[in-house]
Amino acid sequence: MIRNDFYTPEVQGAYQLHGLGDFTLEEGGTIPDLQVAYATYGTLNEDKSNAILIPTWFSGTHQTWELAYIGEGRALDPTKYFIVVVNQIGNGLSTSPHNTDGPVAMSKFPKVRIGDDVRAQEQLLREVFGIERLALVVGGSMGAQQTYEWAVRFPDKVLRAAPIAGTAQNTPHDWLFTQTLLDAITSDPGFNGGEYSSHTEVTDGLARHADIWCVLGLSTEFWKTEFWRGITLPPDVSFSTMIEFRDNFVRGVFQAMDPNALLVMGWKWQHGDVARNTGGDLSAALGRITAKTFVLPIDEDMFFPVRDCRAEQEQIKGSELRVLPSIAGHFGLFGFEQTYLAAVDAALTDLLNTQV
């Protein structure tokens, strides 16, 4: 195992682990004693009707949801709902290449699919909380992929669904974009075929990975208007130049992460496709959704553009498209803008108030 302080409770906030036993994967192979990391907010009511599930996105953990989206008086209000944020397999907190040993450690970690995450989450909710039905599944980016998978794979268990800034079936452009992210890491000699002894040995590859995010994860308008000048990070860190923002925020975040964890999540993202449940027929897959669904793309998102999200939304019976505003593009998910957060809260409030 490799210790990485980025994935400790001191950095990410408190979380719990639940063991699912030996977990067989859709691509073949098994993760021995799969540990799923999760955090909960609020109290589950007696009839278990107030449960909300949030799956995490690429590189993300439960912490961003806690800091940016969950709070009293918000749509995701822990005084009203029991909110479970589950860290996806391979994200650094749940079982991942660097925090396990034995036959699946490091470069030997098997391929994991979106469907594996959803099956693991369903088992977790059932075993730990006895939850059989969810008032809402909501997630951003890769969390949106998992939201769609939930609604297609377990239609009787999902009353409402809100995929944010993500698609049900990954597009060719998105596959290529993701591949550049992965190649940036593996091209670093320090990666050593996935058998490095510390993430710091892959610093250059992680920096190149971060720079690609600067180009496509953040919009052209974000850079042109110098929106980054208004972003302050704890403890009161601000930025005086574009390069300083790149180095201290974008590179700083990704260079703290485990390279193999990013590769596991990236492959999973590339191969996200709910049509696997219906023999490759996307329309048939989306036609299985019975949840009241709000599809929530971000207007400046360059790799999950509104047109791609709309094309899928139009195939979901009774669904609605609500476009979220964010000059930050895909990174609007971090909640830099109150206008974006207000739009998310408004959409989720409407969805939760919809009788189903």
Active site residue 273: no
Question: Exposed (0-12), middle (13-18) or buried (19+): which is 177, by Cβ within 10 Å?
Answer: buried
Active site residue 141: yes
320-321: strand order across its sheet: 16-19, 35-41, 82-86, 51-55, 136-140, 160-164, 292-295, 320-321
- Catalytic position from the list 98, 199, 271, 330: 330
| 296-253-73 Cα angle (round to 5) | 45
Contact 119, 31 (CB under 8 A): no
In this structure, is the dihedral angle defined by the CA atoms of residues 271, 272, 278 and 283, taken in order, positive or negative? Answer: negative
What are the respective helix, strand and coil percentages of the chain, to the nearest 5? 45, 15, 40
- The structure tokens listed for 90 are 């391979």
- Catalytic position from the list 59, 94, 96, 141: 141
**How far apart are alpha carbons 192 and 104 in whole angstroms?**
17
- Catalytic position from the list 116, 301, 319, 326: 301
**How far apart are alpha carbons 314 and 296 in whole angstroms?**
13
Active site residue 301: yes
Contact 141, 274 (CB under 8 A): no
Q: Which residues are catalytic?
A: 141, 301, 330
